[in-house]
Chain A
Amino acid sequence: MRAALPKLASAVLVLVVAASITFFVQLLLPGDRATVILNLQNGRDQEWPAAEVAAVNTRFGFDRPLAVQYLDYLAGLFRGDLGDSYTEFRPVTEVIGAQLWPSVVLTVGALIVAWVIAVTVTVLTVRRGRFLPGLGSSFEAFTASLPHYWVGMLLLVAFAVQIPIFPVIGGDGLAGTVLPVLTLAIPLSGFLGQVLRDEFDKVLDQPFITTARTRGMGDTAVRLRHALRHAVLPGITLSGWALGALVSGSVIAENIYGRPGIGQVLVSAVNNRDVPTVAGIVLVVAAIYVIANLLVDLAYAVVDPRLRTS
């Protein structure tokens, strides 16, 4: 418990720094915020007369000194107020909240499915004769090299257009989630599988495995009950990184399948220079990432009893 406090403090620091960086980077973006807002509201791309720009500046508080705007923003963060979106006149928390769940379903689902595929392929193909291991590792090398958007395109055309098993416009229902999850899970399973395979291979050489076998344990049982536990450790570390990569990948999946989610919100917010929304999303993603890391540490402790006592 005592170890948790400094971790928590540094987690908060990470979040604040992430949000601050986003706040300031957005000020580097070309053009003036009032102009962008006026253009967006009217579907134009021009310059606006000074009077109208000034009105927007006052309304959103852009004419205050930068330091004041920043501190105001930080203060809001600690209150749980992420500000209002420039384009939707709604609180950012609402904008993000409404689309957060589909993204969470997508990323967590993809991670789980990736693990299932990786574990299945590895357990079934490591060290089983001459042909299978090569096949298994080729499969993993192939899937790891697949670009997400390519897999997404092909799955969409194969299973929603040519053979209409799944709906083309998925929305966030269950049927519409299968293909996006597969799109993200397949390449990730290749990565996880490669790492898992290497570890698994090394573990199968360990003395305790031989002991288990001499005690009469069947091969599958040995693999599942003894070897797997040890082999998954590097994979768990990788999962922490994977969650971050999945967030990036979810932007692509949402783009291809027209699926709602924060990836999509992010892209349009960056395009619209909606500073509060972008900063809000960065914050949310960073928070998820920090939580994911804590969970990874927990998972380690669960899988590896040696770490529990430390």
Chain B
Amino acid sequence: MGDNGGFIKKAMVIGGGIAGISASIDLGNGGYEVVLVERLPSIGGRMLQLSETFPTLDCAQCTLTPKTVETGQHPKIKLLTYSEVEQVEGKAGNFVVTIRKKAGYVDWEKCTGCGLCQQKCPSKSPSEFDRGMGLEKAIYTLSPQAVPNKPVINPSHCRYFKEKKCRVCEKICPVGAIDYEQQDRFVKENVGAIITAVGFDLIPKESFGEYGYGEVPDVIDGLAFERLNSASGPTTGEIRRPSDGKIPKEVVFIQCTGSRDPERYMPYCSRVCCMYTAKHARLYKHKVHDGQAYIFYMDIRSTGKGYEEFIQQGMEEEGILYLRGRVSRIFRDGEKVIVWGVDTLTGKKVEVAADMVVLATAIVSQKNTKDLAGRLGIKTDDYGFLTEAERKLRPVETDVEGIYIAGCAQGPKDIADAVAHANAAASKVQGLFAKHS
């Protein structure tokens, strides 16, 4: 708590994905106190859902977990997970942020993370983390390596909250940590600077009428494919299609689904799909040697270090067939999914009777970004992405002194760029703090 007129050299980072985590660690290592606010029960963000990352094909969890653990154990970083920013007042050097700590119905002070409750919970519902393909319990952690490794109850899946039955978790918990009466709590934090790193979402596949409005089960999006490929996912890493669990031999990947489409969806390029689609096709081929991967694309954007080589390797070594053209329509025909596309390089209409289709859907802002921006007093663009102070020269600052932005909340980018962006934001905060005594 600062004196009246004192500049508080403590930072808040909103968003616990790779950008938020990177910024927090930088600031913590720089000697500053950090409060990291994350709306999900544990930190890690989108990287938690990934299986392997391009261009190295490193295991995402192996790269991420050291960072999440470092964040969780860092003496300078205070984690407020399952929490959201409710209100922001004040200015640089003295922001007063009211945070809602959501009721998870588990007392984390008592919980030891033994996991018995999750084992015994009888309720299974489609998991948002697994993009609807897996089932999660009503009491859950996002992953076995969750930081913090403490569960919350989702009342809309919980039998006790819905029907006043069950209560198995309460009975089984050895330390009596279950508390169905828990309420949301509000805390206030005084900080000198805020970094907003709330990440991205994907445009839902249900948006695409010509692709079945999300009703064809074997048409999935990129994050869903990541879950299929993950050892911790719904199929323990085997590439099996959602409808019948069979291993697909003909897999069509479609880039630019909802991107570069000013007439119907998003006009911009989502920047990472060319790379992750190539990655998906390569990972698919690594597991299904006799399968064929087709990638419908308009252009290949592979601008990072090692990216172009990664794409070419996929073509040459894995025999991935790149078809330059869009897909007009997808529909189910018996056990197959019919894909009507075109190969503009030969000029020919192409039809593939696929077993599974993976849509690289457009990156969009998280639905509450605009709202949060409003509370912070910063701007968003027409698509809900946070607006930087100047497009080229001030990419991590906003119009408001003391409030910075980092990661995909500002616009689609890959992990390396998100980390660089976050490092830059942390650096700006440290610069701000250095100016004041």
Whether A associates with B in a native complex is no
Residues of B within 8 A of A (CB): none
